[in-house]
Amino acid sequence: MAAERTIQILPTAADLFHAAAEEFTRVGRQAIAAQGRFAVALSGGSTPKALYSLLAASYPDFPWARTYLFFGDERHVPPTDPESNYRMVSESLLTRIAIPAQNVFRVKAENPDATAAAANYEKQIRRFFALTPAEFPRFDLILLGLGPDGHTASLFPDSPGLKENSKLVIANWVEKFKTHRISFTFPVLNNADEVIFLASGPDKAAMVHEVLEGKPTPPLPSQQVQPTNGRLLWMLDAPAAAKLSR
């Protein structure tokens, strides 16, 4: 059954990131009120940087001490590498908010064995959510981006990770980059209470149209994110939404 999908289109990038920050903090406060904590997986790449900076700068009262930050994917590099999602999040958010170090769950992607790094991250997640072997974690929120080829997290078209249905985290071989990337799998993404795709700018317009209105076979990875019992929210600025028919 397809998830309930909502598309929000904001006039400018600034409006988009403001709306995304409002949604992030709304979901966070709601989770903390309901269960005493907010477990959120952050997306990487460049788009969310502005969101993380805004969260750091404009929400001084947000309960970061009750917030637990995870990474939906990570490049197979050390945390000091310019390509590292952790480094991007650290610079734009972590170094600017009062969040206890133990509330941040970093992928130890410096491990030369990507499969071991993925397995270690899976262990961290299983421990945090106190999962039985057959259970998947239910994140209150997972942030995702949209890649130029329709990938999301590090689930790329034609990559082996698309078929993974039992692990939580995999080392996914990405042929076009000739490297592994560590990524959540679809069962984790689709078990979230809320998933937000953030896309900004004219460069995303064609792929936004293809994902939201196209019917490619096989479906694009971003089309396979359909939370089974959660909310799917696409947050776009007008340039990224420019090719949508309605």
Which residues contact ligand 6PG by CB under 6 A? Answer: 43-47, 73, 85, 145-147, 151-154
Q: Which is nearer to ligand 6PG, 29 or 243 (CB)?
A: 243
Pairwise CA distance, residues 42 & 69, whole Å: 7
Q: Which residues of 29-50 are buried (b: 16+ CB within 10 A; e: fewer)?
A: eebbeeeebbbbbbbbbebbbb
Q: Which residue is nearest to ligand 6PG (CB)?
A: 145
Q: Which is nearer to ligand 6PG, 147 or 230 (CB)?
A: 147
For residue 42, the minimal CB distance to ligand 6PG (Å) is 9
Pairwise CA distance, residues 241 & 10, whole Å: 9
Closest to 45 measured CA to CA, from 220, 237, 212, 201: 201
For residue 212, the minimal CB distance to ligand 6PG (Å) is 16
Residue 172, CA distances (Å) to 46, 181, 185 in order = 20, 5, 10
Q: Which is nearer to ligand 6PG, 74 or 122 (CB)?
A: 74
Task: Return all residues near 217 (Cβ < 8 A) that are at least 6 apart.
Answer: none
Q: Which is nearer to ligand 6PG, 66 or 151 (CB)?
A: 151
Q: Which is nearer to ligand 6PG, 28 or 44 (CB)?
A: 44
For residue 241, the minimal CB distance to ligand 6PG (Å) is 15
Q: Which is nearer to ligand 6PG, 44 or 66 (CB)?
A: 44
Q: How many CA atoms lie within 13 A of 220 on its CB side?
A: 20
Encoding tokens for residue 45? Answer: 């790449």
For residue 152, the minimal CB distance to ligand 6PG (Å) is 5
For residue 239, the minimal CB distance to ligand 6PG (Å) is 13
Task: Return all residues near 149 (Cβ < 8 A) that are at least 6 apart.
Answer: 156, 157, 207, 220
For residue 156, the minimal CB distance to ligand 6PG (Å) is 9
Pairwise CA distance, residues 136 & 213, whole Å: 29
